[in-house]
Amino acid sequence: MSMLENRTYEELTVGDTASVSHLVTERDLLLFATVSGDVNPVHLDEEFAAATPFGGRIAHGMLSGALISAAIACELPGPGSIYIGQELSFLRPVRLGDDIRIELEILEKLPKNRVRIATRVVNQEGKKVVDGTATVMAPTDKVKIDRPTLPPVTC
């Protein structure tokens, strides 16, 4: 079993980075549509999506946002982090089969244990698909825990 370990506010330094990769699958789109209620056919119906400017299905924009959230919660700063705010710009579509990389970088340490983090998502071609910044309350207590095992989900 893998571990989750945070970096406390005191341990963080401007320029610290972390990244996580994720392969976007049909299952991701179905689960995200189920949880969010976003059943826009541009995400779920190939025939409909083919007639859009994208020429095919694309992932929900906020799926990338959720993956950024997970990277903050599990990697940088990690467990105990509290999201305060997020600005996102969606630059290119994310498609089924894309192998995206979520990149985080500490930009600034702020008062009250807050940090400003660059939040970028890059596709397998190295093209930036999402760009933004997050404000996060970094943890003050050191945590190292087993990564929870999630139950299997079928769809």
pLDDT in tens, 21-78: 999 999 999 999 999 999 999 999 999 999 999 999 999 999 999 999 999 999 999 9
Q: Single out the residue of 117, 113, 86, 84 nearest to residue 15, CA to CA.
A: 117
Instruction: Give domain limits for the chain.
Output: 3-24+59-141
Cα 153 to the center of its chain, rounded Å:
20
Fold of 3-24+59-141: Thiol Ester Dehydrase; Chain A (3.10.129)
pLDDT in tens, 87-135: 999 999 999 999 999 999 999 999 999 999 999 999 999 999 999 999 9
Pairing of strands 99-110, 17-23: antiparallel
Hey, which residues does 17 pair with through a beta bridge?
A: 105
Q: What count of other Cβ atoms lies within 10 Å of the Cβ of residue 72?
A: 25
Quote the pTM value.
Answer: 0.95
